A and B are shown apart, each in its own frame.
Chain A
Amino acid sequence: MKTSQSAYISEHKRTGMRPLYLGLLLGGVVVFFMLNLMLGSVDIPLVDILKILVGRESTHLAWQKIIINIRIPRALTAILAGSALSVGGLQMQTFFRNPLAGPSVLGITSGASLGVAIVMLAAGTITSIFAIQQLSALGGWIIIGAASLGSAAVLLLILLISLKVRDNVTLLIIGLMIGNITIAMVSIWQYFSQPEQIRDYLIWTFGSLGGVPLNRLWILAIAVVVGGLIAVGMSKSLNGLLLGQNYAQSMGIPVSSSRIWIIASTSILAGSVTAFCGPIGFVGIAVPHLTRSLLGTNDHRVLIPGTLLMGAILMLACDIVAQVPGSSTTLPISAITSLIGSPVVIWVIIKRKNLQASFS
């Protein structure tokens, strides 16, 4: 019995570290959240920030408005977007057993871009026609609605195809092709548009975390929570899928229904973030690798929460950089995530000497 005891103890030692890591990550989220609140175009002392957070009046009304109306929503959006994209990417990487997969691999974000392109770049410029309404209280849903419809259309297509195609590699390629088709259609749309419209669309493609006011944030929050909960529920299936579809099924995991849930969860997560914030790339690919590297495991029960938190941290960090604290310019968030994320992934690969081993 000695070997079994030692096996149990060593396993416990391994998994016993997990809550500690998660706690550390959660602490990281809090730290970066506070940093995000502290750094911006306008200098606001920490003391005032804390005062405003606990609900007391600050000396400057403007500061209060900035913190409550601009920085807090933006930081919360960063947390939601970072977590959502990361968990979406993780599921895609496990599902397709491909270390370079991300949440956009099924073409969901391209579908959203197409939807937005149609309303922004159409010959009659729908957004221009509805420009006045856009700024009224109930307005402003055109872009979000168009992006969601675009994502939903692609999602439907992918689900239908996934029912017919059992092989995941085929599904991956089909998803990538659909993404390419939508990108091509957007190009055609751009071709027939005027330079100002193209510039307008281009600004949307840069992504933005600061455009979600508090009263809309809750919708994004619901979508992310729903997608995230589905992902958590899929932890066991994802673990089984690490060994491949055949083994997963032989261990009692319902592969066909799992596929649908996984695709649905990723689409909700990626689609909602793209609809509210524009396309933000790279986070979904990098964060799962970082988390695997940190936690040293592929067990999704701890990997999913870890990825959630790590994604939030990375996005908050990128947002801080994008704000260029101290100056009044802001950089596009999508570019920053790629700029910061890529070297980090390169570092992870080199450290581990083998991407296959560090992945997945």
Chain B
Amino acid sequence: MKEQSIISTEDLKIGFLPQRAMKSAKVVAQQINVALKGGQVVCLLGPNGSGKSTLIRTLSGLHAPLGGTIQLGGHDLTRFSIRQAAREISTVLTDRLTVGNLSVYELVSFGRSPYTGWFGSLTPKDNEIIEWAIEATGIEQFIDRDVLHLSDGERQKVMIARALAQDTSAILLDEPTAHLDLPNRVEIIRLLRELARETQKGILLSTHELDLALKAADHLWLINMKGEVFTGTPEDLVLDGTFESVFEQDSFDFDRATGSFTLHQPTKQPVNIYGDEVAVFWTRRALEREGYRVDDSNGNSLQIEALSREGRLEWTLLKESNELSCGSVEELIDKLREITQLVDAD
């Protein structure tokens, strides 16, 4: 059953209006046909400067599109008043907070603005929603604290709580994990996924965390530097090569097998490694860092066996019937260096 999308676009063209009379408009992306459905987490990815922020701001109505239409629940966005649109879409932006003297509770309660009267008074129902938002984001501990005295992670959660309190069907986030450390990043993404599942809201976020996005997103929207937008599940986009093409740069490439980027070029001879799964995975990384190309054929002159014996890991280096035993990856690497030096000297 095809559900109606919360936000959908038709031939959308985004960019900036000409600054001066003579210059032409700067088009950032065109022919955008995307849709955000409820219960989904969509990640918007693209290289720096590809227009992620512009797209988010245009979709949320903060920035005027250059062409095409945006539909909110089937109706044209331009027909919504600012207040009505605010009841459907909430945003979390990269704008810095410069204000203080506001408690966290007050800031979250601002999210109820589209529903309160001219004076902004809160009804008990408003308070209920605010409390629910606070609980959902886990910020009960510091609702009385001044917003300037929050850490980056806490502040981000507070802004998300505010967006939650706005009770919209879609939440758009512009780089919500930008200045956070890894645990916080994971927490935020996890939080967003939970929310999408439980509340059936549509969540769109732009991010630079490619690996997190690949794991967490139900859908990906990719923008490349030419302004083209591709959509699909992360796996489809990886498998059909779109992902790679969007991020195509000279210095590195994407390894479909592992879902990560290869940082290093193989410069040395091929090596075969087998044994304990976890040990093989991590030893492989070290070997690739050293410049070895790891493949599965048995015909390589270098073979490494990683086995777990009596609770400890042991590596056995086999070269042309020579066997060397190592107790750690570091030892293994050192031994390898010695051997290859000898080979070069020959």
Contact = CB atoms under 8 A, between A and B. Distances in A.
Q: Do A and B interact directly, with beta carbons closer than 8 Å?
A: yes
Interface of A: 3-4, 6-8, 10-11, 14, 97, 233, 235-236, 239-240, 242-244, 246-247, 249-255, 292, 296-299, 301, 354, 356-360
Contacts of B220: none
B143 A7 contact: yes
Contacts of A357: 100-101, 146, 148-149
Contacts of B61: 249-250
B143 A246 contact: no
A258 B258 CA distance: 53
Given A235-B120, A250-B91, A253-B82, A298 B110 contact: no
Contacts of A252: 82-87, 113-114
Q: Which of B57, B105, B128 counts the most A-chain CB atoms under 10 A from its CB? A: B105
A298 B62 contact: no
Contacts of A6: 140
26 contacts: A3-B135, A4-B134, A7-B134, A10-B105, A11-B105, A14-B103, A235-B120, A236-B116, A239-B110, A239-B113, A243-B95, A246-B91, A247-B95, A249-B82, A250-B90, A251-B86, A251-B113, A251-B166, A252-B85, A252-B114, A254-B82, A297-B103, A299-B102, A356-B100, A357-B148, A357-B149
B100 A298 contact: yes
B4 interface: no
B106 interface: yes
Interface in B119-144: 119-121, 127-128, 130-132, 134-135, 140, 143-144
Interface of B: 57, 60-62, 82-87, 89-91, 93, 95, 97-103, 105-107, 110-111, 113-114, 116, 118-121, 127-128, 130-132, 134-135, 140, 143-144, 146, 148-149, 166
Contacts of B83: 252, 254
B245 to A, nearest CB: 33
Contacts of B95: 243-244, 246-247
B101 A297 contact: yes
A84 B89 CA distance: 37
Given A236-B119, A297-B101, A359-B100, A251 B110 contact: yes
A249 B132 CA distance: 23
Nearest to B121: A301
A358 B127 contact: no
Contacts of B98: 97, 244, 356, 360
Nearest to A299: B106
A240 B134 contact: no
Contacts of A233: 118
Given A7-B130, A254-B83, 6 more contacts: A3-B140, A4-B128, A249-B86, A250-B60, A299-B106, A301-B121
Contact of B100 (A7, A11, A253, A358): A358
